[in-house]
Structure 1
Amino acid sequence: MRKDYLFKRIAITLSAVMILSLAGCSGNNAKSNADSSTAKNDGKTAGVTQEAQTADGPFGAYPEEITYTLGRQTIQNPKLPDGDTYENNAYTRYVKDRLNAVAVDAFEANGEDYDRQVSLAIASEDLPDIMKIGSKDILDELVENDMVEDLTDVYNTYASDYLKEIYDSYDGRSLSTATYDEKIMALPGTNVDSAPNEVWVRQDWLDKLGLKVDEDGNGMITVDELKNIAETFMEKDPGSSKNPVGISLAYWLSSNDYGGSTYCATGIANALGAYPKLWLKNTDGSVYYGSNTEENKKTLGVLADWFKEGILDPQFGTRTWDDITALLTNGQTGITFGVWHIPDWLLNNVRAMDKNATFSTYVIEGENGKANVFHNNASSGYIVVRKGYKHPELAVKISNLFYDELANTKTLEKDYPEVAKYQADGVDGSTRPFNVEINKYTSLLDDYSDIKKGVDGEIAIEDARTLESRNVIQNVKRYLENTATDDVTDWSKYHSRMKGIELIDKLTRENSFNWVEPVFWGTTETMKSNWANLQKLEEETFIKIVTGSVPLNDFDKYVKDWNDQGGSQIISEIEATIK
């Protein structure tokens, strides 16, 4: 790919120019304002010393103050305290105190606006010193056009032992996505496996109806058991809604990441041996698309039968996300799907409406007696350093601070009380210099182990590894002391950890997971032009099959059309990339 492709990649329209002007400063402009930014952060006028030497060690401070410009991905409500900004807050002041490095935001933007800012910076060859990018496709472009620093040496020299342990815990699945010709060209954010897609069921309704679920206690229920629960809830209407709905699903049906599987039938499909929206490999080495298998055809057949019988929401295909949420909060449905943490931000709304609401969670059991699950993409976002920046090691040193020191210290409240208060008050993590997460593959269960021991009194609360775990222990203990509490936060932390993660821990300990490894997460040339249409074909066909608008056997025609409209070429490109 040549540089001129990057210029063709973006038509700098009027709206893009407006976005750029609203950003305030970009690249070199931000660098020229370094002195004034330093004064704002530090109360003095000392500027950047151009010949500042690199500090020694993973946590060593620079002998003279340096400045780094950032591409900053924001959110709408980060919960920053009055007077603090993305550029000047407890986290950036922590970096200044520890490393003598001052942040200057080259641009700040949210969502798609941030992606546009990144594209404009690339097209104009005016990158900030350090920047988060959202995908490997963008990283590919930056590397091919020699726009970012090779971080191999600085990673090997400056990464703390614990940061290296984090990446090593993924058995190469994360760091390898940022490695080109044995050169580390970015620091990937990590994405732990949060499998399975759990089915959350109103336990207070089960108790009210005397309905027994998971009598063998293995944490799994069958597809038929799920159907029976839905039928019983519809017949008895324990929520007294007068218009009960058995199971309501999002019209996109499945997700290729458990983090995005809320309201999806991913767990049902996995139980039936299907892995929609994933690229997988046959035993002969050939690649196939998980949506197009006989197992997924079977999944659609099951859902179509449920729709015909009235078990599946009669308005499937037209319900919005908010519509399904309303069914839950109004007491019309007591079954939903999602990852372990949906009590914290979704099911808490049910509890707020109904003080009696409690949930239990299960995984749908496969015919093999296992919970069929797939590995998430081990990388989520990348931190890159502009080619030519004098201190590429700074990206690694900042990572050491946030993903090692802050993650492991037990004296945060004493050493950095304003950082501790940020965490206790729930200030969003996007206010840190890097809006990515870098956690050990085992971090979810490691944290749960601390929480369980703290709740059971096996360790003192202050001995838990992280401040978040220490706070959750207190939430859970308060809930257990008063399960009728009006404190929705205590309720939600109990459900997400002692129900949601506890299920993952149990299934892991009992070797009940059957793992599948996807083989490709990127974008091929044909996908750039054809993928949107192929996704539309898939979505529309599957809705029609489930709702009975077309017969199940139309699935075979869909597969042929999918292949003819670019799918076969995409598979060939993926196979070539893998080889």
Structure 2
Amino acid sequence: MLSKKMTALILILVLVIAVMGCSNNSGNSMDSKSAKNQDSAAGPGKISLAKKYDIKWFQWGPRDVHPDDAIIKYMNEKFNVNIKVERILAKEYLKNLELRIAAGDMPDLFRYSLSTGAHVYNQLQEDGFLMNFTEYAEKYDLKALKAYMDKPGTEEFREENGVFQLPSRKAGVIPNVIVVRQDWLDQLGLKKPTTMDEFKSMLKAFKDNKMGGTNTVPLTFALGSNAFMGLSTGFTRVNNWGKVDGKWMFEPVMPQYKSFLQFARELYGEGLVDREVFTSNEAQAKAKFITGVSGVMVAPTERYVALEKDLAESNKNAKLSLIIPMPKGPAGDTGRVDSSNTEPIVVIKKGRDEDFLARVAAIIDYTHSEEGIKMLNYGIEGVHYTMENGKMVKTALYDRDIIPSLGHLTAMTTDYSFAAMDVEGALKENVDYSLKSGVAPPFTALSYGATKDLMPSIEKKQTEWSINFVTGAKDINTNWDQYVKEMNDVGLSKLTAAVEQNRKKWGK
């Protein structure tokens, strides 16, 4: 097996060779005399829009951008570009991104996950592959970009010599929704569960009564094992990190987490949870729910409207509802929510010419402006909605281009907090509940400092043991101490020490 340093070196060599061989991967650019605001001024420097560029925009999300998407068309015309948004499911995103980087097929603009992809950012930033947003904001006086980088709470995303990553921003109070077949509950004469024990009993009733047929899968998860293991908050009352006896501790090794693993093992062992939870993707999980095999699905909020619509098309008698509040565990009815600033975007600088980079910077500036943020959240007035008596009336194109509680797919690279909060009915009830009971991570993965490179090894070890514990391959009580030891051996003890040191340094 290659050493960690050798693997990193190979990645660096592949990246350098790939970029030298590709030069500007937006080579399909062409001169355009019809671009709007052809040489628009932007402060000290001018950003010319005379030459047309292709921009590869890599993203994850619930659905592809429509070929006739009005927002992408508007931005293409405004900036004389051809934005090509490539979307992939979240579970496959990181692996796909790493393969593309290794193959020299790097997108121009893409997101990375703070929890699993920080090593991608670290490597690219250290090797000089990334745009310095501070440099371009100053050079072209991009006011919206400057203001966004200066927002309180974004300090951790800044380097000493500038900003190379821009976090997206959402409401920070939106947990996954627990979607249940209300018609199944009605047929069995059951009420929605209020505790984890009742939740388990409901799943058992679905299975015993074969509500989804012989192969009923009572519970499945849109985002696989991450969502499954996210039920732990009801047992720990923390999200990723928490304090035990005044000391920071990684949630998966907290004593309370052991109780959660035992509960998860019961669900899995009794066939109450999807047996493919550690391997299936979102499309596979959704198929089980839509076809009526599964009775409960844990999914991101923005998936709910599509689930409701797709299920209605396949089964007119099906009824859905949300389980609110979260069934109480030993720590209460708490749900996991995201931090306000999360999942940054980066732009590849190496091999791109200055004119191209200035254009990308102008687009990013616009998407962080008041006008751009409003458009990405709600769409274009007169196209996606009209205003009648002060109220927004949505059109058919709104349903095509805008994702409920998310906005446009590209909104995930800026501030989509408005769309996340602008929901109705059960989703609004879920937001209100989350404002009171949601538990957000106490800090981002950037708090790990120099030890953040240990995270992939820690997460790999955690996943390995979680699968063994939940499936019954390892006994939780017998092997718990060995599990904690191995977690510390691969770097958790160093990571925990760094967290303690950094939090004290920042006075938190």
After superposition, residues 46-445 of structure 1 pair within 5 angstroms as 54-55=41-42, 65=50, 70-73=55-58, 78-81=65-68, 91=71, 94-95=74-75, 98=78, 101-103=79-81, 131-134=109-112, 137-141=119-123, 144=126, 148-151=131-134, 154=137, 158-160=142-144, 164=147, 168=151, 171-172=152-153, 175-181=154-160, 183-193=162-172, 195-213=174-192, 221-239=194-212, 241-248=213-220, 253=225, 255=226, 261=227, 264-267=228-231, 269-273=232-236, 278-280=240-242, 284=246, 286-308=247-269, 310=270, 312-313=272-273, 315=275, 320-321=280-281, 324-346=285-307, 348-362=309-323, 363-367=326-330, 369-376=332-339, 378-384=341-347, 386=349, 389=354, 391=358, 394-399=362-367, 400=369, 401-404=371-374, 407=377, 411-413=381-383, 423=398, 425-426=400-401, 436-441=412-417, 443-445=419-421
SS in structure 2 at match of 1:413:
coil
Displacement after TM superposition at 1:349 (Å) = 4.4
Does the CA contact (< 8 Å) of 1:200 and 1:337 recur in 2?
yes
Larger deviation: 337-346 or 222-231?
A: 337-346
Aligned mates of 2:309, 2:398 — CA distance in 1: 20
Aligned mates of 1:433, 1:315 — CA distance in 2: 31
Between the aligned residues of both structures, percent identity stands at: 17
Amino acid at match of 1:293: M
- Residues 516-553 of structure 1 show CA distances to partners (whole Å, capped at 9, x for unaligned) of 52442577766647834x44443333333333333221
TM-score by length of 2: 0.71
1:570 to 481, 495, 504: 495
- Residues 212-267 of structure 1 show CA distances to partners (whole Å, capped at 9, x for unaligned) of 236xxxxxx2111212212322333344x1443444569963x3xxxxx3xx2423
Does the CA contact (< 8 Å) of 2:54 and 2:83 recur in 1?
yes
- Alignment correspondent of 1:481: none
Aligned length: 464
Aligned mates of 1:370, 1:113 — CA distance in 2: 36
Does the CA contact (< 8 Å) of 1:192 and 1:441 recur in 2?
yes
Amino acid at match of 1:499: A
The higher radius of gyration belongs to 1
Kindly tell me: are residues 199 and 20 of structure 1, through their superposed partners in 2, closer, same or farther at Cα, counting changes over 3 Å?
farther
Displacement after TM superposition at 1:368 (Å) = 5.2
Displacement after TM superposition at 1:370 (Å) = 4.0
Amino acid at match of 2:234: A
Aligned mates of 2:258, 2:384 — CA distance in 1: 58
Does the CA contact (< 8 Å) of 1:237 and 1:244 recur in 2?
yes
After superposition, residues 477-556 of structure 1 pair within 5 angstroms as 498-508=425-435, 511-521=436-446, 528=453, 531-532=456-457, 534-553=458-477, 554-556=479-481
Amino acid at match of 2:196: V
- Residues 456-477 of structure 1 show CA distances to partners (whole Å, capped at 9, x for unaligned) of xxxxxxxxxxxxxxxxxxxxxx
Aligned mates of 1:188, 1:146 — CA distance in 2: 19
Aligned mates of 1:289, 1:228 — CA distance in 2: 30
Aligned mates of 1:270, 1:179 — CA distance in 2: 30
Over the residues paired in the alignment, what is the CA RMSD in angstroms?
5.0
- Residues 283-335 of structure 1 show CA distances to partners (whole Å, capped at 9, x for unaligned) of 74x44221111111101112333445x25348466773466545434434312
- Residues 164-215 of structure 1 show CA distances to partners (whole Å, capped at 9, x for unaligned) of 58984xx42xx3343223844443333443533332221111112222236x
Aligned mates of 1:136, 1:176 — CA distance in 2: 16
- Residues 385-417 of structure 1 show CA distances to partners (whole Å, capped at 9, x for unaligned) of 84983647624543235324565787343999x
SS in structure 1 at match of 2:354:
coil
Listed as ranges, the gaps of 5+ residues in structure 1 are 82-88, 215-220, 256-260, 453-497
Listed as ranges, the gaps of 5+ residues in structure 2 are 1-6, 387-394
Aligned mates of 1:538, 1:568 — CA distance in 2: 14
Higher relative contact order (CA 8 A, sep 6+): 2
Kindly tell me: are residues 558 and 194 of structure 1, through their superposed partners in 2, closer, same or farther at Cα, counting changes over 3 Å?
same
2:464 matches 1:559: no
Aligned mates of 2:309, 2:385 — CA distance in 1: 34
Aligned mates of 2:166, 2:292 — CA distance in 1: 45
- Residues 76-104 of structure 1 show CA distances to partners (whole Å, capped at 9, x for unaligned) of 954314xxxxxxx8556634654xx4226
SS in structure 1 at match of 2:257:
helix
Aligned mates of 2:419, 2:85 — CA distance in 1: 32
Amino acid at match of 1:94: Y
Aligned mates of 1:318, 1:382 — CA distance in 2: 27
Does the CA contact (< 8 Å) of 1:280 and 1:520 recur in 2?
no
Amino acid at match of 1:548: G
Kindly tell me: are residues 137 and 280 of structure 1, through their superposed partners in 2, closer, same or farther at Cα, counting changes over 3 Å?
farther
Aligned mates of 1:316, 1:96 — CA distance in 2: 41
Kindly tell me: are residues 146 and 577 of structure 1, through their superposed partners in 2, closer, same or farther at Cα, counting changes over 3 Å?
farther
Kindly tell me: are residues 404 and 26 of structure 1, through their superposed partners in 2, closer, same or farther at Cα, counting changes over 3 Å?
farther
SS in structure 2 at match of 1:336:
strand
Does the CA contact (< 8 Å) of 1:65 and 1:102 recur in 2?
yes
Kindly tell me: are residues 246 and 62 of structure 1, through their superposed partners in 2, closer, same or farther at Cα, counting changes over 3 Å?
closer
SS in structure 2 at match of 1:558:
helix
